[in-house]
Amino acid sequence: MSDLLITLLVILGTGALVLAIFYLTGAKRKEREKKLAEYCRDQGYAFSKVREPSKKEYIIKGDTFSFASTLTLLQHDSDPGNESWGKETIWSAAGSDENRLTYALGSVPAGSWAVLPDLVKRAAIDRLRGETRLSIDLSNVKYLEPGGETAFLLFEERPGDGSAILENIKPFLKELPAEFTLFIHSSPDMVRIKLVDCFVQDVKLLDKILGLGEAIGGAD
């Protein structure tokens, strides 16, 4: 067998493998999207999707909440395997409620808070403050470890405001994957859940996030 023929066979084989991978990946994505759409239909939610070269997004709307999970291209590379994507999921409640309590919750790695330098602690608090626009500092946050891989910083405008809902959301907090960063902001004007590095592609995770929204108030 000539070297040219061998080279051609290698090229054809590589091309066939790439096509097969793209086909299987596309089929899996369509199946996931079908399950998400069916879940939303069964729950009475509106489901839509955005598919662009630099952005993928799933949008869900209920009577009292909106949800968007977004995958955004941050860095393009000729090799698709080296592309960098930003992942973010946001759930928010529609409308205001004057009886809604004011608090903020942000996730941090478990087990290390007490030994961290104040500079690192302040950086974590600055991020929570930036996400919520609340007057948060080292003196008015609590460090909580509900179990699992993640711990949390809790800010309460009045003592007990955030603690009142912690029991309801502990199951979700315990199961939160360490690679996600969670922010919850509750006030009379709004409730917002933000998950950084999280792009929802399966019904199980979607159901947990919508359940968390319902637990903190404002979902269907």
Question: Three-state secondary structure along the chain?
Answer: CCHHHHHHHHHHHHHHHHHHHHHHHHHHHHHHHHHHHHHHHHHCCEEEEEEECCEEEEEEECCCEEEEEEEEEEECCCCHHHCEEEEEEEEEECCCCCCCCCEEEEEEECCCHHHCCHHHHHHHHHHHHHHHCCCCCHHHEEEECCCCCEEEEEEECCCCCCHHHHHHHHHHHHHCCCCCEEEEEEECCEEEEEEECCCCCCHHHHHHHHHHHHHHCCCC
pLDDT in tens, 153-211: 888 887 777 777 787 888 888 888 888 999 999 888 889 999 999 999 999 999 999 99
pLDDT value for 120? 83
Q: Which residues of the chain have pLDDT under 70?
A: 1-27, 29, 75-82, 218-220
Domain ranges of the chain: 103-187
